[in-house]
């Protein structure tokens, strides 16, 4: 059995699903996602599981039993805990420690664990009866061989409806602009503070030059701030009221162009869109030296400084 622990918000949960599902398809095994319910006691590592609203495969189950990994996967869970403690003590969270995790991967895979918090680290199933995945697995390389399946299963069960969806469908060239503030503005998340108003202004100007017929649809967790600070290069702009995570992502994916924030949420918006979409993305994903495997070759990178 392949197990994967859920972490983060919807965007990260979707990457974890995609990684585990693709590994299960390669190995011919069922997958169980572990919903640790950490949000109930205020832990920041995992928010409410929202995957049930997506078109998930029946071969993937979600387990909400507290402490499941500790009880049923003690060897893998102990190795995971040691990796986390080491990285925290070494202060690696604000640095590029991808090579360290790559060096550890072969041994951890033999023990039945794949631990990859950043970048692309190839996985080898190994001989262990049960296999635990812990990390964010942020990159299409983890599931590119099953991309059509992943796209189908990570779309919402219901197509988007309502006036906002209708406005996007009828626009000549709808562009989704995602602006994330919220937790990104906290001092402890300084590494994520990349996408400034200047970045969005440059990206909007690039959109206007390429598609003067575009309409910008702004998706944000701080709509009032966006209305006050965003410069959309004179393009018609619609500020959408904030809805639920799946519903907003569903509407975002209707667009043809995308101005991304450095967020996995908007990454999935562009990935689930129809073929032929265009993407304008920040040229840095982190404020420090960390690298990412999220960039795709056809994206246009916009200066953030």
Residues 126 and 109 sit within 8 Å (Cβ to Cβ):
yes
Backbone angles phi, psi at 132, to 5 degrees: -110, 130
Q: Compute the half-sphere exposure of residue 12: CA atoms within 13 Å on the CB side of its CA.
A: 20
Backbone angles phi, psi at 120, to 5 degrees: -105, 115
Q: Which pLDDT tens digits describe the chain residue by residue (305 residues)?
A: 999 999 888 999 999 999 999 999 999 999 999 997 665 555 555 567 889 999 999 999 999 888 899 999 999 999 999 998 887 777 665 666 678 888 999 999 999 999 998 889 999 998 999 999 999 999 999 999 999 999 999 999 989 999 999 999 999 999 999 998 877 767 767 777 788 999 999 999 999 999 999 999 999 999 999 999 999 999 999 999 998 999 999 999 999 999 999 999 999 999 999 999 999 999 999 887 778 899 999 999 999 98
Phi-psi region of 236 (alpha: psi -120 to 50; beta: other; left: phi over 0): beta
Q: With the C-alpha atoms ordered 184, 190, 192, 197, is the resulting torsion angle positive or negative?
A: positive
Cα dihedral 79, 81, 83, 85 in deg (nearest 10): -150
Which ranges constitute the DSSP H helices of the chain?
Answer: 10-27, 68-72, 74-89, 98-111, 147-153, 163-170, 197-210, 223-229, 245-252, 264-271
Backbone angles phi, psi at 179, to 5 degrees: -120, 115
Residues 76 and 95 sit within 8 Å (Cβ to Cβ):
no
Q: Is 222 exposed, middle or buried (0-12, 13-18, 19+ CB in 10 A)?
A: middle
Contacts for 196 with CB less than 8 Å, ≥ 6 apart: 304
């Amino acid at each position: 059995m392949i197990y994967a622990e859920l972490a983060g918000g919807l965007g990260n949960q979707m990457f974890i699903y995609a990684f585990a599902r693709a590994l299960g398809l390669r190995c011919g095994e069922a997958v169980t996602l572990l919903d640790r319910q950490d949000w109930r006691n205020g832990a920041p590592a995992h928010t409410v599981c929202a995957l049930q609203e997506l078109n998930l495969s029946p071969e993937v189950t979600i387990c909400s039993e507290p402490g499941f990994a500790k009880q049923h996967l003690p060897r893998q869970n102990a190795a995971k805990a040691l990796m986390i403690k080491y990285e925290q003590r070494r202060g690696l969270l604000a640095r590029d420690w991808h090579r360290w995790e790559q060096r550890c991967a072969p041994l951890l895979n033999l023990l039945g664990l794949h631990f990859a918090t950043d970048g692309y680290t190839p996985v080898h199933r190994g001989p262990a009866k049960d296999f635990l995945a812990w990390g964010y697995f942020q990159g299409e390389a983890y599931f590119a061989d099953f991309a059509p399946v992943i796209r189908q299963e990570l779309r919402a069960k219901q197509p988007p409806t309502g006036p906002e969806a209708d406005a996007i469908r009828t626009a000549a060239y709808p562009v989704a602009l995602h602006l994330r503030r919220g937790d990104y503005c906290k001092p402890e998340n300084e590494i994520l503070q990349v996408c400034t108003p200047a970045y969005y202004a440059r990206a909007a100007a690039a959109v206007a030059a390429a598609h003067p017929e575009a309409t910008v649809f702004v998706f944000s967790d701080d709509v009032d701030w966006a209305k006050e600070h965003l410069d959309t290069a004179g393009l018609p702009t619609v500020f959408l009221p904030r809805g639920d995570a799946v519903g907003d992502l569903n509407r975002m994916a209707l667009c043809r162009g995308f101005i991304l924030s450095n967020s996995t949420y908007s990454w999935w918006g562009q990935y689930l869109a129809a073929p032929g979409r265009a993407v304008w993305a920040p040229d840095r994903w982190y404020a420090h030296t960390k690298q990412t495997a999220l960039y795709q070759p056809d994206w246009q990178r916009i200066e953030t400084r």
